[in-house]
């Protein structure tokens, strides 16, 4: 099929690369000329395992192209995906101005029937809004071209985006039109390996499904962080509790890892946006508000534990930080718990020596060159001579640590572990003070 994707951000680029890889002819359109120029040279603006190879392979095969020409984009696609950003506004609600701009562009250039797909995470009612905007532009043009708008939310995770797209648990399409259903079925047919993954439903239900899924997962995490904090007060080990409850299939093992709080571009933004929309419609979302506030509190846990270990004396001390990205296999630092930690250390007069396998450039972009931040070449360099070590991200390479070396090379033998990577007994036997999350060490 001929497909067009507006937006070459995370979702747009992964969607385009994966759809071209199964044989569709995909045109990507973005208003950012420098981004398009870079993509045409095979330069991928984000780090995502497998994505670069996919983009290069399909661009070479002429199944994937990048351009700023939106008129061409509208002509090219039988299906046109809107996958532009919906950043959070000051009050927490989603800013849909980029979605609106694409809708206006489509209205301006559309000459024949198109299926228009909202893939961005957009508030409930957005498909109707896009429909109305296109219709208004068409009316002004005196045109009566037909089109349909549907919702097709994306559920991929950063770090395994390609894999998630290629093997989806489900493909949600919100539409009441048979024509749209057939077009989307054809588009996604290659991903239906053993059974039909495509689920159609009402458009508003599809839009809410996206927020509900993220809010549910965020709730699981905040719940576990709450229990972890209780476990600390009770002298119980949350990791044993986690295995105990996860074995119940009604609960399951996924997304019950306690930690330093959830971050990233989705959970924090989507939980807030859903809560805001509920408030605006006269419903008090008590649970969602609590999920958010538990998470904010959790992000302060690492600094609180560090202060405890250093008797409140952070000023003039250098803290080693392993992991800066909001999770492994990405360079994304958006709402990363590491940022709350770094900023608290600096506010208390301490300095940081940090290492992350992928997000050093991102860190430099956010914080610039500053005397109280050393970006080390590797994990050992960050830790050597530091007053304590704090682990923020569970990169694989941090899972195996040389505790003997750490005891000798840290100025104080202190590890604060925000990801529960190690067996507390083992670390303590090596003569290190080990403060993890919910492992019996009460604040």
Pick between residue 12 and residue 264 the one whose CB is nearest to ligand UGA: 264
Is 147 labelled as part of a ligand binding site? no
Q: Taking CB under 6 A as the criterion, which residues in 148-187 touch ligand UGA? A: 154-158
**Is residue 285 near ligand UGA by the rule CB under 6 A?**
no
Instruction: Name the minimum Å distance from CB 154 to ligand UGA.
Output: 6
Closest C-alpha among 386, 303, 312 to residue 352: 386
- Is 28 annotated as catalytic? no
Report residue 39 CA to chain centroid gap: 21
Joined together, the tokens standing for residue 70 give: 């939106």
**Is residue 214 near ligand UGA by the rule CB under 6 A?**
yes
**Is residue 123 near ligand UGA by the rule CB under 6 A?**
no
**Please, what is the angle between helix 267-280 and helix 286-299, to 10°?**
150
Size of the site for ligand UGA (CB under 6 A): 20
Pick between residue 147 and residue 257 the one whose CB is nearest to ligand UGA: 257
Phi first, then psi: give them for residue 82, nearest 5 degrees.
Answer: -100, 110
Is 350 labelled as part of a ligand binding site? no
**Is residue 259 near ligand UGA by the rule CB under 6 A?**
yes
Instruction: Name the minimum Å distance from CB 22 to ligand UGA.
Output: 20
Apex 195 CA angle, 165 and 51, nearest 5: 15
Instruction: Name the minimum Å distance from CB 255 to ligand UGA.
Output: 4
In angstroms, the CA 394 to CA 325 distance is 9
Catalytic residue among 18, 150, 187, 266: 266
In angstroms, the CA 101 to CA 115 distance is 17
**Piece of the chain touching ligand UGA by CB under 6 A; list 69-77, 190-198, 252-260, 365-373:** 252-260
**Piece of the chain touching ligand UGA by CB under 6 A; list 32-40, 50-58, 75-83, 261-269:** 261-269
**Piece of the chain touching ligand UGA by CB under 6 A; list 74-82, 175-183, 253-261, 347-355:** 253-261
Instruction: Name the minimum Å distance from CB 323 to ligand UGA.
Output: 10
**Is residue 326 near ligand UGA by the rule CB under 6 A?**
yes
In angstroms, the CA 310 to CA 406 distance is 17
In angstroms, the CA 305 to CA 324 distance is 18
**Residue for token digits 């649970």?**
287
Half-sphere exposure of 49 (CA within 13 A, CB side): 12
Instruction: Name the minimum Å distance from CB 231 to ligand UGA.
Output: 15
Closest C-alpha among 28, 100, 106, 10 to residue 65: 28
Contact with ligand UGA (CB under 6 A) among 76, 327, 339, 439: 327
Report residue 406 CA to chain centroid gap: 32
Q: In this structure, are residues 147 and 114 in contact, taking their beta carbons and an 8 Å threshold?
A: yes
E strand spans, 193-323: 198-201, 318-322
Pick between residue 25 and residue 120 the one whose CB is nearest to ligand UGA: 120
Pick between residue 59 and residue 161 the one whose CB is nearest to ligand UGA: 161
In angstroms, the CA 424 to CA 321 distance is 19
**Residue for token digits 């949600």?**
172
**Is residue 47 near ligand UGA by the rule CB under 6 A?**
no
Summarize as ranges the residues that interact with ligand UGA (CB under 6 A): 121, 154-158, 214, 217, 221, 255-257, 259, 262-264, 266-267, 326-327
Active-site residue list: 266
Which residue numbers belong to the known binding site? 30, 35, 86, 121, 155-158, 210, 255-259, 263, 269, 327, 334
């Amino acid at each position: 099929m001929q497909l067009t994707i507006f937006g070459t951000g995370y979702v747009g680029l992964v969607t385009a690369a994966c759809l071209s890889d199964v044989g569709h002819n995909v045109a990507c359109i973005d208003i950012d000329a420098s981004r398009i120029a870079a993509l045409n040279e095979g330069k991928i603006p984000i780090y995502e395992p497998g994505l670069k190879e996919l983009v290069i392979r399909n661009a070479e095969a002429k199944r994937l192209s990048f351009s700023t020409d939106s008129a061409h984009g509208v002509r090219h696609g039988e299906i046109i995906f809107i996958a532009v950003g919906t950043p959070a506004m000051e009050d927490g609600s989603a800013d849909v101005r980029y979605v609106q701009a694409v809708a206006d562009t489509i209205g301006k250039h559309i000459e024949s029937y198109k299926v228009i797909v909202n893939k961005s995470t957009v508030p409930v009612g957005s498909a109707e809004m896009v429909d109305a905007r296109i219709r208004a532009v068409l009316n002004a043009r005196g045109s009566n071209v037909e089109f349909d708008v549907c919702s097709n939310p994306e559920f991929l995770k950063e770090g395994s985006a390609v894999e998630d797209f290629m093997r989806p648990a489900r493909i949600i399409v919100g539409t009441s039109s048979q024509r749209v259903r057939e077009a989307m079925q054809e588009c996604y047919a290659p991903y239906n390996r053993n059974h039909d993954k495509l689920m159609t439903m009402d458009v508003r239900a599809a839009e809410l499904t996206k927020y509900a899924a993220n809010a549910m997962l965020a709730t699981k995490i905040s719940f576990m962080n709450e229990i972890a904090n209780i476990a600390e007060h009770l002298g119980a080990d949350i990791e044993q509790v986690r295995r105990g409850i996860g074995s119940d299939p009604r609960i399951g093992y996924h997304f019950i890892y306690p930690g330093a709080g959830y971050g990233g571009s989705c959970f924090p933004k989507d939980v807030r946006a859903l809560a805001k929309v509920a408030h605006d419609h006269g419903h008090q979302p008590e649970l969602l508000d609590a999920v958010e506030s538990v998470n904010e509190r959790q992000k302060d846990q690492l600094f609180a534990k560090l202060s405890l270990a250093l008797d409140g004396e952070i000023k003039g001390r250098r803290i080693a930080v392993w992991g800066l990205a909001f999770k492994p296999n990405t360079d994304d630092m958006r709402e990363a718990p590491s940022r709350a930690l770094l900023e608290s250390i600096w506010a208390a007069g301490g300095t940081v020596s940090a290492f992350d396998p992928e997000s050093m450039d991102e860190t430099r972009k956010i914080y610039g060159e500053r005397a109280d931040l050393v970006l080390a070449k590797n994990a050992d360099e960050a830790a050597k001579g530091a007053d304590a070590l704090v682990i923020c991200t569970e990169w694989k390479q941090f899972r195996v640590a040389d505790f003997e070396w750490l005891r000798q090379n840290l100025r104080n033998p202190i590890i604060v572990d925000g990801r529960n990577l190690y067996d507390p007994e083992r670390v303590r036997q090596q003569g290190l003070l080990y403060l993890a999350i919910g492992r019996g060490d009460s604040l």
